[in-house]
Amino acid sequence: MRQAPPPDCSREISSTIPAQSRRRSFDLTGAGIPLEAIERIQTARLPIGGRLNLQLRGQGPLLAPELHATLRLVDLKFGDDVVGSF
């Protein structure tokens, strides 16, 4: 079952698929995504916290698109220690 995003988290996806074309383009933006909600990166010994902002753009053939991404970690936390924003 898919969880709804927290109220202070935003996601936006747009895509362009020209008629009669095998080329695609897309733009994915996410802001304020809580790292605590990403189960795959959590461990009992060292929980990870903070917020993730991302922007992913791509274009080209469906099986081999060219991708450009920007990631920002805000208030990254390992256990109880805040290590900063990157």
Q: Please say whether the beta carbons of 84 and 74 come within 8 A.
A: no
Average pLDDT, integer, range 40-64 = 93
Whether pLDDT at 65 is above 50: yes
Q: Please say whether the beta carbons of 29 and 54 come within 8 A.
A: yes
pTM (2 d.p.): 0.70
Q: Does 18 map to a domain?
A: yes
Q: Does 63 map to a domain?
A: yes
Q: Does 1 map to a domain?
A: no
Q: CB count, 10 Å around CB of 50?
A: 19
Best CA proximity match to 69, nearest among 39, 37, 30: 30
Where residue 3 falls among pLDDT bands split at 50, 70, 90? low
pLDDT digits (tens, 9 = 90+) for 8-51: 666 676 666 666 667 888 899 999 999 999 999 999 999 999 99
Q: How many distinct structural domains can be found in the chain?
A: 1
